[in-house]
Amino acid sequence: MIDAGAERLALLLGLSLFFGFAFEGFYAEELPRRPGGVRTFPLLALAGGGLFLLEPHFAAAFIAGLLVVGSWIYAYVRRELKAEQPEGMFMVPVCNLLAYALGPIALTQPPWVGVTVAVAAVLLLGGRRPLHDWARRVPAQEVMTAAQFLILVGVVLPLLAGKPAIPYTTITPFGVWLAVVAVSSISYASYLLQRYVFAGHGTFLMSILGGLYSSTATTVVLSRRARDEGMTPELQGGIVVATAMMYLRILLVCFLFNVGLGRLLAAPLLGLATVSAVAAVLRARLGGRSTTQADPTNPLQIWTAFAFAVLFIAISMLTTFVRSHLGNSGVYGLAAVVGVTDIDPFVLSLAQGGASGLGLVTAATAIVIATSSNNVLKAIYTIAFSRRRESWIPAAILGGIALLGLAAAALLPR
């Protein structure tokens, strides 16, 4: 039976050797006189781990060793500055400090922590050029957008946990913001794929990704392009396939927040998505492939998220009011009205039970009605923004899908 201490020591040696080999392989030609490597890193890790175990409560011995290592690194940095060789001047000291800290990490933390630290360090070390290329390609505004997304997820959401339900609804502030995070995550992921992974892959694929975060916005963009380029078959197919993705996005959101509602909507929404996708492919195959498309607009903004949350709460209150005074018929009428706006807050409100006393069948019917109403709006946008005679084709397809949606809503089991 191998002792646990021996396992930790073997892990420490293995990880430090792995780190040292990667370090030497990367800097062998660029910095032949650099400190650190396949012998130094294991020794530093052993020293760091041993000094930490000598006095783990205050880590005084480990800190003293850290000061010694820091002095050694300071001398190296001064020498490099005098020699005017800034290449690797900071990465080399950081790697040596990390090797020293790897000792107590491997000896005291769960094994996955040490493995993760070592592997991440090696990947970052070897990925210097690709990472620098990405840093040059990504605009500063994208970094700010990513920071905003982290604020939405990591700061605002935890602060709302445990808050009471909002008056006149059954939803909590945490539920509202969780819905904001869910929709923002889908939209942001789709935008990143569209801009940085599949950029230049043609209109049809861009329409699929665009439909994941807003089929209405995608319809407007493609219709405006059609005004300048003509309503080509590929643009027609792109407008229709964006609607197919709308159905899939709504179904995903419903499953995330209400499995029962998602199951009830699975058949009608998947059926409508399939019909839309088939119609889109048939239209797109009539024309050639286009690689020109407008740059996608980043859908993630802090104020947009707050506006979504306010609209979500307002629609939840309005749905409760309509349900209590006009019954289910009033909810269906409201669904038809909100379909000409952003239907995501309405869908999320019903998925989270924002309207008290509303059954699953009523909620599912209202959601399908809202999607049909939204398709009618997109058909109008297609004609209005393109101003092309051929725009009647995608508009007619969207109108037909809207009628199928109403039929599916009527056939839902009561």
Average pLDDT on 19-23 reads 85
At 381, which amino acid appears?
Y
First-residue to last-residue Cα distance in the chain:
65
Count CB-CB contacts under 10 A for residue 395: 25
Residues 294 and 368 grouped into a single domain = yes
Same domain for 26 and 101, yes or no, is yes
User: Region 270-297: what's the mean pLDDT?
Assistant: 73
| pLDDT of the residue at 1 | 42
| pLDDT for the residue numbered 278 | 92
Query: pLDDT > 70: what percent of the chain?
Result: 79
What tokens appear for 7 in the block? 């396992």
**DSSP state letter for 390:** G
For residue 356, the model assigns a pLDDT of 57
Same domain, 344 and 304: yes
| DSSP calls for 267-305 | HHHHHHHHHHHHHHHHHHTTS------PPPPP---HHHH
Looking at 113, 134, 155, the residue that finishes a domain is 134
Q: Does one domain contain both 130 and 213?
A: no
What is the pLDDT confidence band of residue 248, given thresholds at 50, 70 and 90? very high
CA 153-156-161 angle, 5° bins? 100
Same-domain pairing of 295 and 403: yes
Q: How many residues are present in the chain?
A: 414
Q: Let me know whether 87 and 166 are in one domain.
A: no
67 and 214 co-located in one domain: no
The predicted model scores a pTM of 0.65
pLDDT for residue 198: 61
Q: Verify that 216 and 317 share a domain, yes or no.
A: yes
User: Which pLDDT band holds residue 150 (cuts at 50, 70, 90)?
Assistant: confident
Quote the pLDDT of residue 292. Answer: 47
The span from the CA of 194 to the CA of 196, in Å, is: 6
Average pLDDT over residues 90-97: 82
Same domain, 75 and 199: no
Domain boundary among 106, 134, 162: 134
Statement: residue 145 has pLDDT above 80: no
Shared-domain flag, residues 197 and 269: yes
pLDDT in tens, 192-233: 776 666 665 667 777 777 777 778 878 887 888 787 777 888
Residue 409 has what pLDDT?
A: 87
Q: How many domains does the chain have?
A: 2
Residues 80 and 228 occupy one common structural domain: no
* Confidence (pLDDT) at 269: 93
Among residues 84, 109, 134, the one where a domain terminates is 134
Q: Which residues contact 30 (CB under 8 A, 6 or more apart)?
A: 87, 88
Rounded Cα distance between 274 and 272, Å, is 5
In this structure, are residues 405 and 375 in contact, taking their beta carbons and an 8 Å threshold?
Answer: yes
| pLDDT tens, residue by residue, 289-307 | 544 455 555 555 666 667 7
Task: Indicate if the pLDDT at residue 124 is higher than 60.
Answer: yes
Q: Same domain for 159 and 181?
A: yes
Q: What is the distance of C-alpha 10 from the center of its chain?
A: 38
Full domain range(s) for residue 47:
4-134
- HSE-up of 207 (CA within 13 Å, CB side)? 29
Does 365 score more than 70 pLDDT? yes
CA count, 13 A, side-chain hemisphere, 231: 22
Q: Report the pLDDT averaged over residues 397-410.
A: 91
Judged against a pLDDT cut of 80, whether residue 339 lies above it is answered with no
